[in-house]
């Protein structure tokens, strides 16, 4: 009997101990599960970061590879913009003249055209590139002669510091007085950059070497014309105009409210006024331009920073 009671007491004690240990095991299991979830989350984040970094590196390597290819192609062809455009223009002109294009020639045109479009123009097709070849802007700029330049002319009569040239009188202080308003001015000459820079473009105007007052148009198209002349104003108004084929097209009138005059020396109280005019015209090839000082006894200052004339070919 005593033995049975002892056994029963031991069994009850073990059951109580198991009930005490059960909450501790449950907490440990929950903690382990939480750690596993955190660990899996960190692994997933590292995986996503790795995939994203790998993708970005691949894109960067492709860009570097494309850039290297372009640089190698540029060194291979060694084209500058002008030579490439002119070469491709000739190629297009030859292609337009042929009724049928052989396959090999067509492949060559495609290769050269694609290279040119990629490096120079960026146009998506050859028609746009062909149009762009004719859109170059060219210009001419004329400035007045200096007094020392008149030594190149023969049979010039001089009196003191003034000489009779270009249908007028030119003095050492760079003042010119035109005597014949019906004749165009002849004191303009090409600006130094037109010859020193060796620009291989078609000049919009060409100065006549026999009569330097005439400028001939070399190519039909839209032209911007401009004229600046510094006038020693002695009258209420001075008229200067640009004529195209003998017709007055642009007129510059410089007016003064009041001019004090001295009959013995009309230029004693003169005032310097810049007469400027510009405009856009469609000029036909071989048209002639001239500049005329319409007001008699008008004195102008022949300095390149004050007196100049030019044309810009905008579109053909």
Q: What is the pTM of this model?
A: 0.56
Q: Are residues 29 and 126 in the same domain?
A: no
Phi then psi dihedrals of residue 90, to 5 deg: -60, -40
Asked if the structure places residue 16 within a domain, the reply is no
Number of domains composing the chain: 3
Determine the Cα–Cα distance for residues 164 and 187; give it in Å rounded to an integer: 12
Determine the Cα–Cα distance for residues 163 and 197; give it in Å rounded to an integer: 33
Is the separation of the CB atoms in 307 and 244 below 8 Å? no
Asked if the structure places residue 7 within a domain, the reply is no
Asked if the structure places residue 2 within a domain, the reply is no
Q: What is the pLDDT of residues 227-282, one digit of tens each?
A: 999 998 777 778 999 999 999 999 988 766 655 665 566 565 667 888 999 999 99
DSSP 40-62: HHHHHHHHHHHHHHHHHHHHHHH
CA-based R_g, the chain, Å: 44
Which pLDDT value is given to residue 101? 43
Which pLDDT value is given to residue 13? 52
Taking residues 22-47, what's their average pLDDT? 83
> Tokens representing 17?
């101990």
262 exposure class (CB count in 10 Å sphere: 0-12, 13-18, 19+): exposed
Q: Are residues 105 and 55 in the same domain?
A: no
Residue 207: enclosing H or E segment and its boundaries?
strand 205-207
Which pLDDT value is given to residue 131? 46
Asked if the structure places residue 54 within a domain, the reply is yes
Asked if the structure places residue 231 within a domain, the reply is yes
Q: Which residues contact 2 (CB under 8 A, 6 or more apart)?
A: none
Which pLDDT value is given to residue 94? 56
């Amino acid at each position: 009997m005593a033995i049975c009671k002892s056994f029963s007491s031991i069994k009850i004690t073990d059951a109580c101990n198991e009930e005490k240990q059960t909450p501790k095991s449950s907490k440990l299991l929950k903690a382990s599960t939480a750690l596993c979830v955190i660990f899996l989350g960190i692994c997933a984040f590292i995986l996503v970061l790795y995939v994203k970094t790998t993708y970005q590196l691949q894109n960067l390597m492709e860009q570097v590879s494309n850039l290297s290819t372009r640089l190698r192609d540029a060194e291979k062809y060694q084209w500058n913009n002008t030579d490439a455009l002119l070469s491709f223009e000739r190629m297009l002109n030859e292609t337009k003249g042929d009724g049928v294009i052989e396959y090999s020639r067509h492949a060559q045109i495609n290769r050269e055209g694609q290279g040119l479009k990629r490096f120079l123009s960026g146009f998506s097709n050859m028609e746009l590139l062909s149009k762009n070849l004719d859109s170059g802007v060219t210009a001419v700029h004329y400035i007045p002669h200096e007094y020392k330049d008149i030594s190149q002319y023969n049979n010039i009569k001089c009196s003191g510091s003034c000489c009779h040239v270009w249908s007028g009188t030119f003095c050492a202080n760079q003042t010119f007085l035109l005597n014949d308003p019906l004749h165009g001015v002849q004191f303009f000459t090409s600006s130094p950059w037109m010859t020193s820079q060796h620009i291989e473009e078609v000049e919009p105007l060409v100065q006549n070497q026999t009569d330097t007052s005439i400028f001939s148009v070399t190519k039909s198209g839209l032209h911007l014309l401009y004229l600046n002349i510094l006038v020693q104003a002695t009258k209420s108004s001075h008229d200067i105009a640009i004529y195209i084929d003998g017709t007055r097209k642009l007129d510059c009138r410089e007016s003064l409210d009041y001019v004090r005059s001295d009959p013995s020396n009309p230029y004693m109280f003169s005032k310097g006024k810049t007469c400027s005019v510009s405009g856009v015209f469609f000029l036909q090839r071989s048209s002639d331009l001239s500049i005329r000082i319409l007001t008699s006894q008008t004195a102008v200052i022949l300095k390149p920073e004050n007196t100049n004339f030019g044309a810009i070919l905008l579109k053909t």
